[in-house]
A and B are shown apart, each in its own frame.
Chain A
Amino acid sequence: MRRSALGRSWPNAIAVVLVIFFAFPVYWMVSTAFKKTTDIISKTPVFIPLNGTLEHFTTATGADQFWSFVANSFIVTVVAVAASLVIATAAAFAVTRMRFRGRKAFVLVVMVAQMAPWEVMSISIYMIVRDNDMLNSLVPLTLFYMMMVLPFTIWTLRGFMAAVPKELEESAMVDGCSRFQAFMRVIFPLLVPGLMSTSLFGFITAWNELPLVLVLNKATGPGTAQTLPLWLTSFQTTFGDDWGATMAASTLFALPVLVVFFLFQRKAVGGLTDGAVKG
């Protein structure tokens, strides 16, 4: 395609501005976390922290029960995502490979459930959990996070499963596989990208969630069941003006998601956007 030098340079100029706009907050978070306090509160912002320090990370990781909240977040997220993958795989298989009464209704419910107003249901969830004496426990959190990602997981896996030709499975069964074996040997390997993209989405959702944990697991003190988002909001209140520590804490919190995102990015983003837009 023919394009003049001028015609090429203005998109690039806009792109540079956009790169700064989108990346700067993230850069500013990470760089502040490494800056000496004197640099953070200097009259002129220090844009490149040449003589950095790890002191803020020590403050953040040394904060009360930090590691137990890390563990809580990981347990809740991993269990919720794994459970939803198992449940969704079974459901998606039934929906794509079998014909039965109520199949369409089920698919419709899954679609609507993706828009569930979790944010406004926190009051009743609190009552339910309290009446069952489960406040300040990881169990209800895990269950609700699992439910939050389940409809999307079913929806996405259904799409991926429908893409696997039936003939592959049938020929495996002709060769003597049971239906389950045919599924495990033929369909499952082809589902891996789908499983990856949905787990990425689930990971972000569960890792991120604030409203429910804010309501259910407010209790502080030893052995409490807070997760990192809640820890981070209370950290910000406690450490107030200590922006270095707050940014170090935010960096530590964001890091796993950023890492997972970039690791899975190539395979996952296509499926992620695809599934989500079908929403």
Chain B
Amino acid sequence: MAVQSEPVRAKSPGAGVGADAPKGVRPSAGPGLLSRSTPYLLLLPAVVATLALLCWPLVETVILSFQNLNKRQLILHQTEWNGFKNYTDQLTSSEFWHTTGRSVAFTALNVALIMVFGTLVGLLLDRLGKRMRLALQIALMLAWAMPFVAQTTVFTWLFDSRYGVVNWFLDKLGWHSMAAYNWYSSQLSTFFVIMLLLVWGSIPFVAFNMYAALTTIPKELYEAARLDGAGSYKVFTSVIFPTLKPFFLGTTFLEVIWIFKCFTQVYAINAGGPQRLTETLPVYAFIEGMGNQHYGVGAAIAVLTILMLSVLMSYYFRIIIKQEDEL
């Protein structure tokens, strides 16, 4: 779709071109019922899987959200409907709104950092000499390929209060009060570690894409801009940014969605602590639902999260469709 920039498309030729069947395709040959149903037979496994494994849990989440379902009802297999109570409870609870605000701020800050630094790293990759570029690419790939749980354990170790290398380093820099600092004792410092972890792990994706996109901007565009006396900043705002606008848009939205619903890193760093102060919406839904065994409440929070995601997605799809029209 239009998310990827023209240049990125060039990397794997023809990707995305097939949105509309190429002209002159034989309408699935032959008059027979069998051949007319061939496309549906080929799609059948994918459709069945989607219905059973994606739609069913989605529908089930909605159904559960209207039930008073706690440990007791779960064990006794009871179904107790309680209408919109889970929703009204959440929507009138300050904890829910705090968590929502925290989630939004957390997403905004992280995505901003990831996009700005990812773009800068991508631009840098384009300027570096061959050897230095390879070194940076390998370093980025190491961070990128690390599984989330492994990332989290490593960051926990880096920020360990007694033997963590970060505390040692800060102490060496002359910040002696940090020598035995416990990063997981306060909300802000825990968030700082999570943020650093997410930014560290997410920049490579943006940087690689940015670099791939950059390599395909025609050189003449740069030269024309330089002849007009444009500096680096001007080249970026007048050539790179407008050309790669679809790329920036697409990547930003992907990051928004990934960060907003990210669970593993936030949960695995400190399980939402201290005092539940680092819970984002998915973690909140999980801890209320599975941890405190208020399954119905957890499902309601999940539905509210999904609604927020859908609003984001519809906004995103509208932009895509608009862009398609402009092309």
* A residues apposed to B, CB below 8 Å: 8, 11-12, 14-16, 18-23, 25-26, 28-29, 32, 40-41, 44-45, 86-88, 90-91, 93-100, 103, 106-107, 109, 111-113, 115-128, 143-144, 146-147, 150, 154, 156, 158-164, 166, 193-194, 204, 207-208, 210-211, 215, 228-229, 232-233, 236, 243, 246-247, 249-251, 253-254, 257-258, 261-262, 265, 269-271, 273-279
Contact = CB atoms under 8 A, between A and B. Distances in A.
B261 A90 contact: no
A87 B14 CA distance: 22
Nearest to A11: B127
Contacts of B119: none
A124 to B, nearest CB: 4
Contact of A274 (B4, B141, B264, B309): B4
B28 A124 contact: no
A163 B302 contact: no
Contacts of B261: 117-120
A154 B168 CA distance: 48
22 contacts: A11-B128, A12-B128, A18-B121, A19-B139, A25-B143, A26-B143, A28-B165, A29-B154, A103-B21, A119-B286, A120-B285, A120-B305, A123-B302, A150-B46, A163-B13, A204-B145, A211-B286, A246-B157, A254-B147, A270-B12, A270-B212, A278-B3
A31 B135 CA distance: 19
A197 to B, nearest CB: 9
B73 to A, nearest CB: 11
A176 B292 CA distance: 65
B4 A253 contact: no
Given A88-B46, A147-B49, A163-B13, A19 B313 contact: no
Nearest to A273: B209
B39 interface: yes
A90 B45 contact: yes
Interface stretch (B51-59, B93-101, B182-190): B51-59
A154 B46 contact: yes
Contacts of A158: 18
Question: Main SS of chain A's interface residues?
Answer: helix
Contact of A273 (B16, B151, B205, B289): B205
Contacts of B230: none
A23 B145 contact: no
A98 B45 contact: no
Given A210-B149, A262-B145, 10 more contacts: A12-B129, A15-B135, A19-B135, A26-B143, A117-B305, A117-B309, A123-B61, A143-B53, A208-B148, A273-B209
Contacts of B151: 25
B192 interface: no
Contacts of A193: 12
Nearest to B45: A87
B286 A277 contact: no
B18 A159 contact: yes
Contacts of B8: 273-274, 277
A8 B129 contact: yes
A277 B251 contact: yes
A243 B46 contact: no
Contacts of B305: 117, 120
Contacts of A144: 53
B74 to A, nearest CB: 8
B200 A21 contact: yes
Contacts of B61: 120-121, 123-124
A275 B9 CA distance: 9
Contacts of A28: 154, 157-158, 165
Contacts of A111: 1
Contacts of B247: 277
Interface string B34-70: 0000111011011101100110111011011000000
Contacts of A112: 313
Contacts of A257: 145-147
B272 interface: no
B118 to A, nearest CB: 12
B136 interface: yes
B205 A270 contact: no
Nearest to A47: B165
A265 B137 CA distance: 11
Contacts of B9: 274
Kindly list the 7 A-B residue pairs having the minimum CB-CB distance in the complex, ordered from nearest.
A162-B18, A163-B14, A159-B15, A124-B60, A147-B53, A94-B42, A261-B145
